[in-house]
Amino acid sequence: MNADFDTYQLSDEHEALRDAVRTLAEKEIAPYAADVDEQGRYPVEAKEALEKAGFGAVIIPEEYGGQGADELAGCIVIEEVARVCASSSLIPAVNGLGMTPILLSASHELKQQVLPSIASGEAMISYALSEREAGSDAASMKTRAQRTGDTWVLNGTKCWITNAGESTWYTVMAVTDPGKGANGISAFVVHKDDPGFEVGPKERKLGINGSPTREIYFQNCTIPADRIIGAEGTGFKTALATLDHTRPTIGAQAVGIAQGALDIAISYVKERKQFGKHLAEFQGLQFMLADMAMKVEAARQLVYVATSRAERGEKNLGFISSAAKCLASDTAMSVTTDAVQLLGGAGYTKDFPVERMMRDAKITQIYEGTNQVQRMVMARSLLR
């Protein structure tokens, strides 16, 4: 495990990007966040604003029509959108998750087929690994893919698919050789118009209500043979390599949610008076704010270190990627809970965004590997 943690520096371009995304988020995303949550509707305003500004998928290389930004820039975009609306931050986050296997392992031809439409904003991509009986134990998946001439035929069901029904493309893991366990899993790209592909009803959820989560079904779903990502049997390896790059992006989302809640709490305690003085003058509450800010900053630094090391392709990323995701998501849950507490009765109402942020924060401890799984990954790395 590399102990050198002094491993990134924000450039002027990163700071300019943060300013641009923050301005856009406050002006074009924040005003709709409460309604998106309340109505459980897709954040079309955010999608249009992000696409128009080119912030939907900044890490796509220039040769495929993208901006060629680094992964740290991708994290900054997600963080700043999540600061005002977690549901909207899943637009760049899930694009990143869905296309990372393609960036890591696909042929040039497949990249050319899929990435330009995502770069232009014309399409989005989702990621399909989990099944009802194969969540944390993803290698026990049942979805099958069989080669038939110049096509692959997929059968099975994937669940908890973020932005399903809104995405055009789906990166799908399926078993191609049942006798080989994890080495018998391959990765594919499915298009929403492929015959035999269907999308299920929306799940009813605690948070991220603006981002649809659905099952997707493959019933003799037939795709061209060239839509396999990498070699047959390498899909699970690609999935694990993907998580090393994308777990820090969930950390970035969590940091954004926590920062948004902290900002609101600070503003509130400076204005609200009790016992003849502002809440901000009570030392007990000052200490709460100090602890919240300390945790947010620690989480942010760890996320930036993890994503910078993934960008450089360092070995043994498991520990740092899991640590970043785990610390940041635990921080988001803790900070949003404290923000609700600092706002008191007002914090428990929908008049303020902190109750929404608290509900949205919870999923960051669960998806892309529960925090219990992250701790297993870290422990294995330490004991190896």
pLDDT tens figures, 36-76: 999 999 999 999 999 999 999 999 999 999 999 999 999 99
Q: Is 148 exposed, middle or buried (0-12, 13-18, 19+ CB in 10 A)?
A: exposed
Per residue in 133-175, pLDDT tens?
999 999 999 999 999 999 999 999 999 999 999 999 999 999 9
Q: Are 339 and 292 in contact (CB under 8 A)?
A: yes
Give SS3 for 69.
coil
Has residue 283 got a pLDDT over 60? yes
From the candidates 71, 215, 355, 368, which is the catalytic residue? 368
CA of 1: how far to CAs of 9, 38, 131, in Å? Answer: 21, 44, 32
State residue 2's pLDDT score.
Answer: 47
CA of 67: how far to CAs of 73, 84, 201, 307, 382, in Å? Answer: 11, 24, 34, 18, 37
Gap between the Cα atoms of 324 and 299, Å rounded: 7
Instruction: Tell me whether residue 368 is one of the annotated catalytic residues.
Output: yes
Gap between the Cα atoms of 375 and 320, Å rounded: 11
Q: Are 59 and 40 in contact (CB under 8 A)?
A: no
Has residue 3 got a pLDDT over 70? no
Q: What is the mean pLDDT of residues 212-233?
A: 98
Gap between the Cα atoms of 355 and 341, Å rounded: 10
- Residue 243 has φ and ψ, to the nearest 5°, of -65, -30
**Hey, what are 328's tokens?**
């940041």
Has residue 4 got a pLDDT over 60? no
